[in-house]
Amino acid sequence: MSTTAPDRQQENPLAEGLALRRTPDPCALVIFGASGDLTHKKLMPALYALAVRRLLPPRFAIVGVARTGGDDGSFREDMANAVKQHARDPFRQDVWDELAAQLHYLATDFADSSGEDKLHGLLGELDEKEELGGKRVFYLAVPPPAFPTIVEALGKRRDERGWTRLVVEKPFGHDLASAKELTATLLEYFKEEEIFRIDHYLGKETVQNMLALRFANGIFEPIWNRQFVDHVQITVAESIGIEARAGYYEQAGAIRDIFQNHLLQLLALTAMEPPIDFTSASVHNEKVKVLRALHTPAPRSVVRGQYGRGFIEGEEVVAYREEAGVAAESMTETFVAAKLYVDNWRWADTPFYVRMGKRLARHETTIAIQFKEAPHPPFEESAAEGVRPNVLVVHVQPDEGVSLAIGAKVPGQGMTIRTVHMDFLYGGTFRTGMPEAYERLILDTMLGDSTLFTRADEVEEQWLLVDSIVAAWQRDKPSFPNYPSGTWGPPSAEELLHRDGRAWRRP
């Protein structure tokens, strides 16, 4: 294997003949909030991975902007440590030296107009030195209250010679009203096609594979509907707690942190109609149709919970109300489960059971499509475990892949049936490390491809559903905590499916 092009794994026959993606135009990437965790743990390691694979533009500059004091030298040293600690690739000095030469740092408070002048001057110098042509990506890795100030300053001093793209991290608003207000602010200075609202779940390979699984295989699409599918289960489970994020989580809760964005996006990709092509507009249009077809669930079809003390991997952990910075009587939910319906021709009367939570039994994100039972299995009585329905499971994380549960005859005399699994694992098949979501998303931003980002109307439809659920919650106060850490949530979540004669699948 070549050490200069690790992305070409020619000993794997499945990698042969794959077209290389076009290289982005020369540009400058400006990261606001460059001293924060996101830059250290995700953005810089992703840029290093792109550098290892020679996917960055030949003429390129990275500018870190933050209020923390420092200069180019200290910033480069700090980012080198971040790459060594968090990158998926081994640290290579030759790759790092080349990338470090493109790193620059500006210590300034952007609320001060002098900060605008400093950044504008630095970008002008880099444009001239690197021949960037005024092409710029601005990444807002800062708290949402800082968005309007930065957006206004950038919008008023645009360089019209090239293109400008704005990457906005979640949370995108706190409710529908604030999301609309933020969109109006952005659209005052930027066009919709210039705004990239990032949801890192959409950058995961297995999430993208949902489109390939459905629309590149003729065997699935004909049965991907209410006539053949009994129900769908989507689980976004985390074994970790709030990880010192009490200030944010107390305001957001589980429904705004994961349900409103990641989980509803997974549902939209699962339920969407085939797009006429795979341009960003076509994919977004089909996802919006699904989100608009979601009707508000009845209060008994939504469960919320909050974790108490318990055990994770044999270690005792504290309750949510005992976490640092959390109010002693906090009513913030750390778990949400719901039964949703997509009211259209394809999915009418087919329930989508969704759940997500903190401090659950294990870390996993899965999409499980359970098909209807065979109408008349003649060997049902002789089945070893009972004839189970076929289930297609997309494993988003941590073990990326797809599995299909089928019934098979046990070797030996008699017709004894047992459920077996046909598994496809990314790592084993393609023999390469899975790229981090931010690698794909940063590259797509520089290429101007917004397919894996969320559009304004998607965000608004998601908030419309969440606001209606939250409004119903105002009328009652559940008894918290109502599930121990290390379990799969409150008993009422199990009852949600038991009422329908179903159960949550177990790993």
DSSP secondary structure code for residue 260 in this structure: I
Question: DSSP strand E in 41-198: where?
Answer: 60-66, 103-107, 136-140, 164-168, 195-197
User: For residue 44, what is the enclosing H or E element?
Assistant: helix 44-52
CA-to-CA distance for 65 and 109, rounded, in angstroms? 9
Residue 336 Ramachandran class (φ > 0 left, ψ -120 to 50 alpha, else beta): beta
Phi, psi of 228 (to 5 degrees): -115, -25
Q: What is the DSSP letter of 203?
A: G
CA atoms within 13 A on the CB side of 431: 11
Q: Known catalytic residue: 262?
A: yes
Give dist(CA 407, CA 432) in Å, integer. Answer: 31
3-state secondary structure of 386: coil
Decide: helix, strand or coil at residue 313: coil
DSSP H helices, 107-175, are: 113-130, 147-156
Torsion, Cα of 83, 84, 85, 86 (10° steps): 40
- Whether residue 51 contacts residue 10, with contact meaning beta carbons closer than 8 Å, is answered with no
- Contacts of residue 173, defined as CB under 8 A and 6 or more positions apart, other chains included, come to 144, 179, 180, 181, 182, 459, 463
Q: What CA–CA distances, in Å, run from 99 to 35, 57, 58, 102, 165?
A: 18, 11, 11, 5, 22
Active-site residue (options: 40, 200, 262, 395) = 262
Catalytic residue numbers, as ranges: 262
